[in-house]
Amino acid sequence: MFSQSLKLTLLSFVATSVWAGVVRRQQSNPSPGASGSMETGWQNMPEVTDATAYPDFAVGSNTMPVYQTTDQVDSSIERAVIVFPGKARDCWYYWNSMNNALYRAAAQDGVDRSKVSIMAPCFFSQEDLAAGAAKDTQLTWGRTTWVSGHYNEGPSSVSDVSSYDVVDSLVSYYMDSSAFPNLKTLVIAGHSAGAQMTQRYALMRSSDGDADRLHYWVANPGSLLWLTEDRPAPNADCAGFDDYKYGLSAKIPGYGLGDFNSMKREGLVSRYNGRQVHYAWGTADDGPGDTRCQAVTQGASHLERGKNFVSVLESLNSGSVPSSQSVDWIEGVSHDNDGMMNAAASLVKLFQL
């Protein structure tokens, strides 16, 4: 199987091609490479075409690295996309993938690139600090605890900062009408682990401010924050199957504990079902993803969990998905972020709706 970087490089020689059922086009920047790895830590933040790296982007009273579209006029921005990385914390890769999808939307659907800002926050870990990509003055988390909104691990002088607090700050940054007076829509987007973060943040986000302009795009999550106590594949030996991050019975993180205590499950789910969440699953995404028993009670694969989750949505809403939400089944695509982002239905949700 081709690597992601080789796939993208091949596209520079072919005007259009079909891969995994998705039509590709010539304009595509090769994936940037960084030294290091998810396990040993990233050693640097690579240069990314069309993007500027801001190592010390302000999030509240703290800082963290982000990539953001280069050389744009803030007053011209009408749409912004905040895209989360995958499990590997490779924010540069996901920024580039989303930018390539925007190139396709511009070529195919006439979307004006100058009016769209893309940002990819980098939720680095202690491994990345030791390896060199992160600095000891920046916020860091556990390897994957940023996905579920848990508190930071560094720097040592800062405590109790949820990764969802950071997302709140990034949302406020784009929603600031004095900085972005013409912003109409902000999309929070993620694939795989990034989709897990997007879906959980959409449910746990405390503020309903700017709800009319805030959209969420959730593609191929490995597991979901389940809305009900029952499971489609129950397992009597699986302790804590409905505890957070898989459910809402217990172990709610500090970020959402106040709302949970006051609203309980029913209130959180009702609020969530009124938010503008757009789901996408690849019909060939039959991989197991998260193999913990808590995830397996949701289904045996990414796709099966998606189908089961949609059934729950429908059961809670008189037989249909909530009117503010949508579901796209991306034909022939497996667990591939490029295939998901470049699908026609996804381009609409990301850049037009």
113 neighbors 106 (Cβ within 8 angstroms): yes
Q: Is residue 115 situated within a structural domain? A: yes
> For the chain, how many structural domains are there in total?
1
Token pair in block for residue 128: 């990345």
DSSP for 184-225 reads: -EEEEEEETHHHHHHHHHHHH----TTTTTEEEEEES-SS--
pTM of the model: 0.92
Question: Residues 3, 4, 5, 11: is their CA dihedral positive or negative?
Answer: positive
Q: Is residue 12 situated within a structural domain? A: no
Q: Is residue 302 situated within a structural domain? A: yes
Residue 327 has pLDDT above 70, yes or no: yes
Closest CA to 216 of 191, 193, 199, 194: 199
CATH number of the domain encompassing residue 107: 3.40.50.1820
Maximum pairwise Cα distance, the chain: 57
Give tens-digit pLDDT for 276-314.
999 999 999 999 889 999 999 999 999 999 999 999 999
The DSSP call for residue 31 is P
Give 120's pLDDT tier (boundaries 50, 70, 90): very high
Structural domain for 112, as ranges: 20-32+42-351
| Main-chain phi, psi angles of 221, to 5 degrees | -65, 145
Q: Can you tell me whether residue 91 is helix, strand or coil?
A: helix
164 neighbors 149 (Cβ within 8 angstroms): yes
Q: Is residue 220 situated within a structural domain? A: yes
Give 39's pLDDT tier (boundaries 50, 70, 90): very high
Give 21's pLDDT tier (boundaries 50, 70, 90): very low
What pLDDT, on the 0 to 100 scale, is given for residue 27? 82
Contacts of 138 (CB under 8 A, 6+ apart): 55, 56, 62, 63, 64, 65, 124, 129, 154, 155
Q: Is residue 3 situated within a structural domain? A: no
Alpha-carbon distance 21 to 288, whole Å? 22
Q: Is residue 1 situated within a structural domain? A: no
One-letter amino acid for residue 134 of the chain: A
Q: Is residue 5 situated within a structural domain? A: no
